[in-house]
Homo-oligomer: A and B are copies of this chain.
Amino acid sequence: MANAVQLPLRERKKLDTRRRIFEVASHLFVDLGVQDTTIEAIAKAANVSKPTFFNYFSGKQEVLRELMTRMDEEFVSYILHSVATGHSTQQRLQLLMTQSGQHIQRRPDMTKLLLIEGMSDLGCPTVETSRMSILNDAMATLVQRGRREGDIDTKFSIELQVQILVGGYLYGLLNWLSGDLKELDKTLQETALFLAEALAPR
């Protein structure tokens, strides 16, 4: 924050404008869908000209990409936080699911939008591959920690354990997407308990 205060007025105004366009665009995406949100509508709602929009973003896809990056970063921070503060794999998974559930419930429509758009992105393998790696790598730190501390089995590969963790979690979200928000919390907590048991040594 101290740095922000020291920025020259011109730079601060630029940052404000960028932030405003970003906020307005993300709300329009949720309300109208990405497809039906025009650059004109974003510029109008942000009170800037169309050329000004293009001074800040190359197009709708860049705004969307940044929204996804932020969501990914937040989710990775939940994982790392749970690894740092939890006292067992079960507790870490429960923490993670609690934070993730709270995040989703704050803006369920945004989560739905980003899940759907993120899936469509599979058509663009490079982007999607790197998003999956980021998520998988973060989850691997949770698995490695549990393996070191003895509450995750070392008989199977870390990659496979990550696959089941991330896949089980994401598919829970997909089921929720097509159904009932009320049940999200319950689903996530049960998922955490189930996965902790599934990973434990026998």
Q: Majority SS of interface residues in chain A?
A: helix
Cα–Cα distance between A115 and B187 once the two chains are bound (Å): 25
Q: Say whether B168 contacts A164, CB under 8 Å.
A: yes
- Considering the complex, give the chain B residue whose CB is closest to the CB of A123: B116
How many chain A residues touch B (Cβ–Cβ < 8 Å)? 41
Q: Say whether B167 contacts A172, CB under 8 Å.
A: yes
Q: Does A125 contact B (CB under 8 A)?
A: yes
Q: Say whether A128 contacts B169, CB under 8 Å.
A: no
Given A132-B174, A163-B175, A171-B171, residue A156 in contact with residue B194 (CB < 8 A): yes
Q: Say whether B178 contacts A132, CB under 8 Å.
A: yes
- Considering the complex, give the chain B residue whose CB is closest to the CB of A115: B122
Further 19 A-B residue pairs, CB within 8 A, beyond A122-B177, A164-B168: A117-B123, A119-B120, A119-B122, A120-B122, A122-B174, A132-B178, A159-B175, A160-B194, A163-B168, A163-B187, A164-B171, A164-B191, A164-B194, A167-B167, A167-B174, A168-B171, A194-B198, A197-B202, A198-B199
